[in-house]
Structure 1
Amino acid sequence: MEKLYKDEITSYIVGDREDFYSKLLNEADEVASKINEILQKGNIDLLKNAEKLVQFVVENREAALIAFARQEGIAWAEHSLTLQFKLEWVHAIRRTIWHYLKDYDKEENAYLSLSEFRILIYQMEKQINDSLDQFLNSFFISYSEYKDELINSQRKTVEHLSVPIIPLSAHVAVLPLIGIIDVYRIYTIEEKVLTDISMLKIRTLILDLSGITDMDMEVIHHFQKVLEGISLMGCKAVITGLRPELVRKMIQLGVTFDDKAETKGTLQQTLPEYYKPERS
């Protein structure tokens, strides 16, 4: 019986599509002017999606509601649509639902002194508000997760570009490192170095550290492990450009790279030893 009531209420709200759209747009002035823009930019039909949301909310279809919210969150994040509009739109849908429920209640009470429909409507109040809040919560989580994944992916791409392994010959390559190497970046360096040694068949890798401004203790220790990994890949590591401040820090920590790599002065001094241009 309760399901029949809810189906009837859903039909009452969205049965007359034009009337539903009109009332909804009146409740969301700012979003109303953006409907076509959002449709063109993100291929998102706000009015049709509002119908779907009303159905899921009124009929208390939790699984469908959450799936729909996550789908919407990804779509809005993917096209960088304004969250303020989404929030206003859902609140407008909330107000529109309650507008219809009040009218529905009045019509039923015109011929029933104690309407089961009215009791059901009051019982639905908490469920409808909870469902809409759950939709917003799932939407924002999905939106945030997509944005976080996008940022991490972009950061990883940038970090990989900042680890340029440059082949000098068939088996010799140079890796010039610049800037600050933090914990995140040293893992990127490790991944890129070991992958490229395998892919490019590198036998000698020259790591130029002249552009490194700082390395903390944890990074220095991990850099040693990177050198060990290079050796395990059957590749020789050559370090150039160690700066005085970095050498002093290594001395204070009792750390050395000598047993894991050959150290040279500058990259310019070292290149002629490993790079022999072919004569035409």
Structure 2
Amino acid sequence: MANLTQDRSIALYEFIIQHSSDMTDSWLASRDVGGHGIYSKRMGAEVEKRLREQNQCFIKMIASIFNEKNELLQDIDSWAKRVAEDRAGSNTPIHETIQQFKRFRNIFWNKIREYIEDPLTEVNQTDILTWSSLLHSTFDTVIERFAEEYNFFTLRRIDAQQDMINQLSSPVIPLSDFVGILPLVGEIDTHRAKWIMESTLQQCIDNNITQLFIDLSGVVIIDTMVANEIFQVVNTLKLLGVQSIISGIRPEVAQTSVQLGIDFSQIPTQSTLKQALKNNKIIIEKISL
């Protein structure tokens, strides 16, 4: 706080705190009526109450730069984490929140200008430049930390959703006490292939499966890397006493795999799941509706 007296700093701090409710009111009033997100005026009183509380904490946190608060960075981290989790949880696009930071930065600075332009306030040019620098640098720090936390929570949600998709798309369906089917559908990349291995092993153990039909007819593309992962699944299942039968694998994929040393010749294969079940005397009774 070079060239800035403590008395002037505290006076500005107290002025901002005194008018914090007015600043929040101005911000909430500036929201768009036709919006659809959390910042829309159409949102209910509960959402507005949450925004007001978050904004009041934000004002006090920013104002503390004029009161030389030592715990400021800790407060910024805590606030950014809490609000980022809230915005990510409500599916608020990050650019909308950045727009609100920009809008409220103007409100905050205008309140400082109001204090500066008061005839009874003794403020010099150095004070103004110092306050401006402090305000904008702190705003930038908060926005940066918010963006980091928002990215963290968003990626965590994506990972959780992907795990759920993998679980739903890789089910071992029991046909009897010891027989199951693993129907695979869609694109299989290396990440999903590894998930399939881990999930399949656990599901076979949990369901006491000793014979597993792995059907690949719903998989559009199987490259050699994925074929190798499937080969490893079969071998690992074999060590656990589970016999695997593969159906639906394309001849060109099997041929390429053999050329690369991935030998499917030792694994029972059938062109279709129906044929695989029939050859292993697994009878699916026709249901009459």
The TM tier, using the shorter chain, reads 0.7 to 0.9
Cα distance between partner residues in 2 of 1:2 and 1:47? 32
Cα distance between partner residues in 1 of 2:194 and 2:98? 39
Q: Indicate which of 96, 101, 105 corresponds to 2:112.
A: 101
Q: Indicate which of 138, 155, 160 corresponds to 1:153.
A: 160
Between the two proteins, what is the percent identity of the paired residues?
A: 22
Cα distance between partner residues in 1 of 2:33 and 2:62? 21
1:9 aligns with 2:12: yes
Cα distance between partner residues in 2 of 1:24 and 1:255? 64
1:164 aligns with 2:171: yes
Aligned residue identity for 2:84? G
Name the SS for the 1:180 alignment partner. Answer: coil
Per-residue deviation, residues 108-156 of structure 1 (Å, max 9, x unmatched): x6475xx5x8644432322211111111122222222222222222222
On the 8 A contact 1:14/1:20 being kept in 2, the answer is: no
Cα distance between partner residues in 2 of 1:122 and 1:32? 38
Per-residue deviation, residues 212-263 of structure 1 (Å, max 9, x unmatched): 332112112222211122122221212223322222322432421234x333
Q: Which runs of 5+ in 2 are unaligned?
A: 66-71
Aligned residue identity for 1:14? I
Query: Which sits farther off after the overlay, 16-25 or 92-101?
Result: 16-25
Change (3 A) 1:55 1:172: same
1:263 aligns with 2:265: no
How far did 1:13 drift? 1.6
Mapping 1:224-239, distance limit 5 Å: 224-239=231-246
Cα distance between partner residues in 2 of 1:194 and 1:155? 19
On the 8 A contact 1:21/1:47 being kept in 2, the answer is: yes
**What TM-score does the superposition give when structure 2 sets the normalisation length?**
0.79
Per-residue deviation, residues 152-173 of structure 1 (Å, max 9, x unmatched): 2222222222213111111111
Change (3 A) 1:69 1:275: same
2:190 maps to what in 1?
183
Change (3 A) 1:180 1:25: closer
Change (3 A) 1:2 1:48: farther
| Root mean square deviation, CA, Å | 3.1
Name the SS for the 1:45 alignment partner. Answer: helix
2:211 maps to what in 1?
204
Q: Indicate which of 46, 49, 70 corresponds to 2:51.
A: 46
Change (3 A) 1:213 1:252: farther
How far did 1:200 drift? 0.6
Q: Indicate which of 221, 228, 252 corresponds to 1:214.
A: 221
More helix by share: 1
Name the SS for the 1:59 alignment partner. Answer: helix
On the 8 A contact 2:166/2:192 being kept in 1, the answer is: yes
**What TM-score does the superposition give when structure 1 sets the normalisation length?**
0.82
